[in-house]
Structure 1
Amino acid sequence: MKSHATTLLAEVRTFRQNYPDVRYVDLIALDIPGHFYGKRYPIEMLEKVAAGSPLKLPQNAVLLGVQGGLFKIGDYCFNDGDPDANRRLVPGTLKPVSWESQPLGQMLITSDGTEAPIEFEPREVLAKVLERLQHKGIHPVVAFELEFYLFDKKLDNGLPQFARDPLSDDADDQPNLHIERLSRFSEVLDDMAQTAKDQGIDITVITAEIGPGQFEINFGHLDDGMRAADWAALFCRSTRGVALKHGYRASFMAKPYLQFPGSGMHVHVSLYDGAGNNLLAAHQQQPLRHAVAGCLELLPHCMPIFSPNHNAFRRLGGTVNAATRASWGFEDRDACVRIPESDPRNLRIEHRLASADANPYLVLAAILVGLEHGLEARREPIAPLNEDRSSGSDFPLEMLDAVRAMQHHAVLRDKLGAEFVDVYCENKRQDHLAFQQEINAREYRWFL
């Protein structure tokens, strides 16, 4: 049986044989706000790392704010000496980057699985949740769906412009679900899909969404929750790169237009036991009801994860299918937790509340914790929207309220980790306060 290092070394050497022009590889990981950070390594040095040489990056890189700055969070960043922390290469993720002007590779790195994993690293948070579920005999199957907008590459005084229809050169400024939009933008969409497949991502359905220049791409179902989150993270990176290559900007911003629908991250999750039986479908679907109740109970306390920035809160209660209360329903897209019609084998929940720019590792971790809590507490959920259109419970609609609701919640501190919850909440609080420290034109217009 090959050792871990031997397997990694074989992966790097095979990559070098297949892509002899690649001289550098970006080693990347997702920080708390959902941005990639990392280092660009010469391919020769990558081979040494694969063979066992240490790979270290600053621990506090995970704590970067939305704009890349460091916040004082406890003793981190300014009172800890900014120490390095070990990272490891994630096997199977070394892939070519086709959207750059020069040949390049990329590979995921992480602290999970090292001797001293970073407790607040998003991938480590999810790894702990998945490991705990596995010990309980619970095996999630996961699929992400991501919505995004295409804009013109050039901004207009800092504001986005509608994508130009490549056939007419007119602005694609009409909200619609027309299949013809997929044809008109087929060149860039096909490149996005193929590039994602080159990254090992299973792209399935592509949809023209309601907003002008808005699309949705679905991924295949995976019995590896970590890999499913990897796919979502990598897809965002490659899609933005491909869009720029074609003269567009691709954005997963939650609410780029007030008058048009926002962009969401929908997550399908089913749970199986070791024998492959769907746990949610047992006993006349009673576990499904318990799982839904757990999700709805924790949802108000997970809002900083599902809506990670000021703009994401604008999406809630918007024009289409974005709730302002924690709710559930069968085949109901107005619900936060939707139960798609399916046979017992494929019975699942679809969690629809998170914004497209949320951190996929943390979103999935929060959803799984809600399901886990529900199965343990065995409570009945509130009435589904199918029975009562007014059913639902309130959740925070402003970041500072959301942070307060999250930070001291006992279940989240236990199941996501108290250190992570404290660090994450302070990161969101500081980001929100930093966002307020700019006077925009509207403020002068109103109060000057």
Structure 2
Amino acid sequence: MDAVCSDLVAEVRGFRQRFPDVRYVDLISLDIPGHFYGKRYPIEMLEKVAAGSALKLPQNCVLLGTQGGLFKIGDYCFNDGDPDAPRRLVPGTLKIVNWEKQPLGQMLITSSGTEKPIVFEPREVLAQVLERLGRKGIFPVVAFELEFYLFDRQLRDGLPQFARDPLTEDADDQPNMHIERLSRFAPVLDEMVETARAQGIDTTVITAELGPGQFEINFGHLDDGLRAADWAALFCRSTRGVAMKHNYRASFMAKPYLQHPGSGMHVHVSLYDEAGNNLLAANGQRPLRHAVAGCLELLPHCMPIFAPNHNAMRRLSGTVNVATRASWGFEDRDACLRVPESDAKNLRIEHRLAGADANPYLVLAAILVGLEQGLEAGREPIAPLNEDRGSGIDFPLEMLEAVRSMQNHAQLREGLGAEFVNVYCENKRQDHLAFLQDINAREYRWYL
């Protein structure tokens, strides 16, 4: 047994000692739309997998559409025999699930690091970007911030209802950022934080956001980009589970209300060398400007990643603190790329464009490719919003146009992998067309 297997066996055995009532563990991984898929394993079998027994799942699980269906993408799904692909356990991710009625565990799995990685698996895409940056002596430090809405658990005519204030039983229908809202919703928010911490996630600041029932929870900064994205993915899963326990729905939908702010995924990224020096702060912050330029140039071609569905595109409609063009600025929340005030050691870029329902592995991978290419090209960016409020680069606001812009972009294909770009774009194109195959009441009202 090699050292990795030995450590995994010790992790499983330690878990069983701490949680003797747990009989099953969910082995989970994120697909292209950002949903978890996987299998529920008896804890005894998990120990065998940890010791080296094969773990395989269908390769095409990664290709599922938003509603779980399979699309014909090249030879995948319908002409490839639906083959299995090896997966491995991600060390350090075996944690207790405390929002279910029965004791349960969960653990991340991935094809990354196996003898045959799935090149379009989101976690593998990010792993390849991070590995390439490491070879160049570039080491990111990353922190995610996720906004979400709480709704009443019961829908009405298929529509979400405002969350009920647990103290007054009234609907929380007044948009504000008052600190008292944190107190009124403390039981569910506190359990969300504690549950996230039980998953190993370093949760920090909690904010009552502007929308009714809208909140934001931030995570600590990590020098491991894969783990940072793991945290974001696992946080969404645990937050939804805790909300259901408290008779709410938690949703990371990017734009649930037309009249209220959408929910974003804000990603803070700084870049360091092997000695721990902040690369962005060198030479009078010239690398910062180059990195910004690269991100802005690539951004219009990454829109299917940052706004991965029809609803996410709705969020980019000029509401408060959401950019409608690729822009940047110092301490400016109207910009796609905000440079927060900080000392040279902590100088970073906050990428604010992605919707909260975007895939965190792919969002981070796309951001890093933009930073990487900007540092290498060495170009100056457009004027910041602080100097010119009209500064910006247009980006697509419709999915099919966005897919066309992404599909054949040479630098993006090189940075993220050509096969991934092909698969991802076709998945988004077919998912969008499937979404449009419905005639709603408004269409009859307008055209009948």
TM-score (norm 2): 1.00
| Pairs within 5 Å for 1:388-427 | 388-427=388-427
Q: 1:424, 1:327 → 2: CA distance? A: 25
Structure 1 residues 253-272: aligned runs within 5 Å: 253-272=253-272
Contact 1:329–1:385 (8 Å) recurs in 2: yes
State the one-letter code of the partner of 2:74.
Answer: G
The answer as to 2:68 corresponding to 1:72 is no
Residue correspondences, number? 448
Q: Which residue of 2 aligns with 1:285?
A: 285
- 2:230 paired residue number: 230
Aligned to 2:314: 314
The residue aligned with 2:165 is 165
Please list the CA deviations of residues 224-268 of structure 1 after superposition, one character each: whole Å capped at 9, or x if unmatched.
Answer: 000000000000000000000000000000000000000000000
SS in 2 for 1:427: helix
Secondary structure (helix, strand or coil) at the match of 1:338 reads strand
CA distance in 1, matches of 2:442, 2:180: 38
**2 CA distance for matches of 1:201 and 1:319?**
30
Native 8 Å contact 1:201 1:219 kept in 2: yes
- 1:350–1:24 CA distance, 2 compared to 1 (3 A): same
Contact 1:328 1:337 in 2 (8 A): yes
Partner SS, residue 17 of structure 1: helix
Structure 1 position 152 matched with structure 2 position 152:
yes
- Residues 321-345 of structure 1 show CA distances to partners (whole Å, capped at 9, x for unaligned) of 1111000000000000000000000
SS of the aligned residue for 1:26 comes to: strand
Post-superposition Cα deviations, 1:357-401, rounded to whole Å, max 9, x if no partner, equal: 000000000000000000000000000000000000100000000
Distance 2:10 2:440 in 1: 53
The equivalent of 2:328 in structure 1 is: 328
The aligned residue for residue 302 of structure 1 is 302
Matches within 5 A, 1:196-235: 196-235=196-235
Question: How far apart are the structure 2 equivalents of 1:244 and 1:435?
Answer: 26
Deviations 1:191-228 (A, max 9, x none): 00000000000000000000000000000000000000
Structure 2 residue ranges without an equivalent (≥5): none
Which residue in the other structure is 1:17 paired with?
17
Structure 1 segments of 4+ aligned residues over 4 angstroms from their partners: none
The Cα of 1:443 is off from its aligned counterpart by 1.0
Q: 1:136 is aligned with what amino acid?
A: K
Residue in structure 2 matched with residue 366 of structure 1 by the alignment: 366
Root-mean-square deviation (Å): 0.7
Distance (Å, rounded) in 1 between the aligned partners of 2:131 and 2:317:
35
Deviation at 1:447, TM superposition (A): 1.4
Tell me which residue corresponds to 1:86: 86
Following the alignment from structure 1 to structure 2, what is the Cα–Cα distance between the partners of residues 392 and 67?
Answer: 35
Identify unmatched segments of 5+ residues in structure 1: none
Match for 1:267: what amino acid?
V
**Code of the aligned partner of 2:353:** L
Q: Is the 8 A contact 1:262 1:318 kept in 2?
A: no
Shift of 1:2: 6.8
Which string of whole-angstrom CA distances, capped at 9 and with x for unpartnered residues, describes residues 81-107 of structure 1?
A: 000000000000000000001000000
CA-CA distance at 1:444 after TM superposition: 1.4
User: Which residue number in structure 1 is paired with residue 104 of structure 2?
Assistant: 104
C-alpha separation between the residues in 1 aligned to 2:214 and 2:249? Answer: 12
What's the CA shift for 1:445? 1.4
CA distance in 2, matches of 1:80, 1:4: 32
One-letter identity of the residue aligned with 2:52? G
Partner Cα separation in structure 1 for residue 324 and residue 339 of structure 2: 18
Deviation by residue 1:282-323 (Cα, 9 ceiling, x = unmatched)? 000000000000000000000000000000000003321111
**SS at structure 2 position matched to 1:27:** strand
One-letter amino acid of the structure 1 residue matched with residue 378 of structure 2: R
Structure 2: how far apart are the matches of 1:60 and 1:187? 40
State the match for 2:45 in structure 1: 45
Partner of 1:5: 5
> Counterparts of 2:442 and 2:155 in 1: how far apart (Å)?
19
Distance (whole Å) between structure 2 residues aligned to residue 157 and residue 211 of structure 1: 22
2:32 alignment counterpart: 32
Equivalent AA in structure 2 for residue 377 of structure 1: A
Task: Give deviations 1:401-440, integer Å, cap 9, x for gaps.
Answer: 0000000000011110000000000000000000000111
Give yes or no for the alignment of 1:176 onto 2:172: no
Counterpart-to-counterpart distance in 1, 2:220 and 2:318:
28
For the residues of structure 2 that align with 1:159 and 1:318, how far apart are their CA atoms? 24
- Kindly indicate whether the alpha-carbon contact (under 8 Å) linking 1:261 and 1:319 is maintained by their aligned counterparts in 2: yes
> What whole-Å deviation, never above 9, does each CA across 1:27-52 have from its counterpart, x for those lacking one?
00000000000000000000000000
Residue identity matched to 2:158: G
- 2:434 aligns to what SS in structure 1? helix
